[in-house]
């Protein structure tokens, strides 16, 4: 069966002054695939995710294709549109807006996208229900547990039906029970919605559960391992 490519990156190089952080990365993520990026601290994982998320610029000559569109040569404004519409983000710190409720936080990327308020709020409500957070809709971030906040951040990442969700240490600040729940949520969303994820993680149990594990070392892909058994 032909699989759809949701993200393809070629020739990704990045330096900060004289420090060469990424030295020619190529990678692909397919529809309904969960890929992990692992590697020692300082190996360039976050820098790579920032570039793939159009939050930082690689050296000239890189190619980045998201949902079949070559976005590498787009203007900054057009890249921002792609970032909001086609990409979802989950960070270690939830980065929810403290003055807004869970429902409003989740709806925010859709409102920015110009979706009508009632439609955006309706979709946000639907996602909160799927993520078992219905009863938290009207709560502000400081009225929720760490695990709940992170699940709200996942709902926010999904609101615009992104081609792929980029997650940087999403469970890094959670205890083991909440960590396991969040990881399970990624696999459930893949199964139920065909959602793709690219996840930077130090968590070995998560990395090994992913369809593919990409190991970065000193700015290059050192290994790609394919998961053996079925989920």
- Counting contacts by CB under 6 A, is residue 41 touching ligand ADP? yes
Query: Which CB, 95 or 184, lies closer to ligand ADP?
Result: 95
The CB-side HSE value for 21 (13 A sphere, CA atoms) comes to 21
Q: Which residues contact 120 (CB under 8 A, 6 or more apart)?
A: 107, 110, 111, 159
| Single residue of 16, 60, 192, 226 touching ligand ADP by CB under 6 A | 16
Which DSSP helix (H) or strand (E) runs through 5? strand 5-16
What's the sign of the alpha-carbon dihedral 185, 109, 147, 129? negative
- Counting contacts by CB under 6 A, is residue 43 touching ligand ADP? yes
- Counting contacts by CB under 6 A, is residue 88 touching ligand ADP? no
Q: How far is the CB of 17 from ligand ADP (least distance, A)?
A: 7
Query: Which CB, 38 or 107, lies closer to ligand ADP?
Result: 38
Please report, for residues 29, 103, 108, 203, the alpha-carbon distance to residue 159 in angstroms, rounded to integers and kept in the order given: 20, 11, 9, 26
- Counting contacts by CB under 6 A, is residue 226 touching ligand ADP? no
Number of residues that bind ligand ADP (CB under 6 A): 11
- Counting contacts by CB under 6 A, is residue 53 touching ligand ADP? no
- Counting contacts by CB under 6 A, is residue 74 touching ligand ADP? no
Q: What is the C-alpha to C-alpha distance for residues 182 and 100, in angstroms, rounded to an integer?
A: 22
Residues that bind ligand ADP (CB under 6 A): 16, 19, 21, 39, 41-47
């Amino acid at each position: 069966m032909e699989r759809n490519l949701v993200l393809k990156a070629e020739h990704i190089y990045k330096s900060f002054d004289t420090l060469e952080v990424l030295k020619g990365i190529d990678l692909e993520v397919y529809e309904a695939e969960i890929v992990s990026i692992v590697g020692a601290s300082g190996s360039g994982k976050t820098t790579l995710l920032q570039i793939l998320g159009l939050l930082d610029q690689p050296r000239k000559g890189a190619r980045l294709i998201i949902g079949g569109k070559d976005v590498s040569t787009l203007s900054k404004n057009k890249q921002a549109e792609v970032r909001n519409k086609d990409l979802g983000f989950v960070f270690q710190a939830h980065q929810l807006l403290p003055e807004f409720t869970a429902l409003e936080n989740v709806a925010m990327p859709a409102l920015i996208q110009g979706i009508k308020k009632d439609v955006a709020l309706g979709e946000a409500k639907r996602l909160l229900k799927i993520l078992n957070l219905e009863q938290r809709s009207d709560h502000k971030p400081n009225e929720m547990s760490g695990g709940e906040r992170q699940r709200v951040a996942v709902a926010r990442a999904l609101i615009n039906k992104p081609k792929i969700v980029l997650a940087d240490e999403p469970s890094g600040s959670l205890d083991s029970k909440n960590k396991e729940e969040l990881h399970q949520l990624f696999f459930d969303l893949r199964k139920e919605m065909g959602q793709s994820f690219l996840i930077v993680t130090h968590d070995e149990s998560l990395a090994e559960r992913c369809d593919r594990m990409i190991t970065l070392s000193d700015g290059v892909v050192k290994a790609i391992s394919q998961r053996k058994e079925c989920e």
